[in-house]
């Protein structure tokens, strides 16, 4: 009886702890935004979640659909980070760069938000080799 050749699989990339934590936090945020969208769809004001009940004449139903879709996109980003997808890394870096530019334009360089975004940006660049 001949020995069966073992299939060669690509090694599974290890998930850095910081990326795992970021993916979970982004996922939780996405779930909160989805819930806010659902609440808007049923007519509940959720301004305490940072989602206004109406913007520039947009009805609660339309806004609820938009918020729900944004929540799904954020949840998809979290899944992409969890599975170490390159598109998720690029999108996350773009969002962090947008935050850094926003703080820079406000001349708010010595704030928790700016420092946290800068550390996150440097960390994501440092672990980019783990992404496919």
Q: Break the chain down into helix, strand, coil percent, rounded to 5.
A: 65, 0, 35
Residue 49 pLDDT > 70, yes or no?
no
The residue range of the domain holding 36 is 16-83
Same-domain check for residues 74 and 93: no
Nearest to 22 by CA among 81, 104, 97: 81
Residue 1 pLDDT > 80, yes or no?
no
Region of residue 56 (phi > 0: left; psi between -120 and 50: alpha; otherwise: beta): left
| 46 vs 32, more confident | 32
Can you tell me the distance from the alpha carbon of 132 to that of 50, in angstroms, rounded to the nearest whole number?
Answer: 34
Number of domains in the chain: 2
Residue 55 pLDDT > 60, yes or no?
no
| 11 vs 30, more confident | 30
| 47 vs 33, more confident | 33
Same-domain check for residues 79 and 95: no
Whole-prediction pTM value?
0.74
């Amino acid at each position: 009886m001949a020995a069966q050749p073992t299939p060669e699989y690509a090694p599974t990339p290890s998930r850095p702890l910081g990326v795992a934590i970021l993916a979970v936090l982004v996922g939780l945020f996405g779930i909160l935004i989805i819930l806010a969208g659902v609440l808007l769809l049923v007519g509940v004001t959720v301004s305490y979640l940072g989602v206004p009940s109406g913007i520039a004449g947009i009805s609660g139903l339309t806004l609820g659909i938009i918020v729900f879709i944004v929540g799904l996109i954020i949840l998809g980003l979290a899944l992409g980070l969890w599975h170490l997808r390159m598109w998720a890394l690029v999108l996350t870096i773009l969002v962090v760069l947008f935050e850094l530019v926003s703080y820079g334009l406000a001349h708010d360089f010595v704030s928790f938000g700016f420092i946290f975004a800068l550390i996150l940006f440097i960390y994501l660049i440092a672990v980019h080799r783990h992404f496919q």
